[in-house]
């Protein structure tokens, strides 16, 4: 194959609207819902990642509170002696 024919073929491939027509045909099968869900998923990810430190602090606080309320046998033994 000559260089000229390769260039002509590539040109035809890139410039012809066939690829666009194919893309359009794909679109008719509708990927719109998928795109919207992907977008909303990314938004949810942003919110979850940003809220993670808050949730962890709240979790730590609750754990601290629960620990404080539980009886501490070792400390008791130390004061008994």
In the chain, the N- to C-terminal Cα span, in Å, equals 99
- Whole-number minimum distance, CB 35 to other proteins, in Å? 5
Binding status of residue 26 toward other proteins by CB under 8 A: yes
CB neighbour list of residue 38: distance below 8 Å, 6 or more residues apart: none
Binding status of residue 40 toward other proteins by CB under 8 A: yes
CA-closest candidate to residue 3, choices 19, 11, 16, 17: 11
Binding status of residue 20 toward other proteins by CB under 8 A: yes
The 8-class DSSP code of residue 1 comes to -
Binding status of residue 23 toward other proteins by CB under 8 A: yes
Task: List interacting residues with other proteins (CB under 8 A).
Answer: 20, 23-24, 26-28, 30-33, 35-36, 39-40, 42-43, 46-47, 50-51, 53-54
């Amino acid at each position: 194959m000559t260089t000229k024919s390769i260039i002509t073929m590539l040109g035809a491939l890139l410039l012809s609207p066939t690829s666009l027509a194919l893309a359009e045909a794909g679109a008719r099968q509708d990927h719109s819902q998928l795109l919207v869900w992907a977008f909303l998923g990314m938004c949810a990810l942003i919110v979850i990642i940003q809220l993670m430190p808050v949730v962890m602090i709240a979790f730590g606080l609750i754990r601290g509170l629960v620990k404080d309320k539980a009886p501490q046998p070792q400390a008791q033994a130390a004061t008994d002696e």
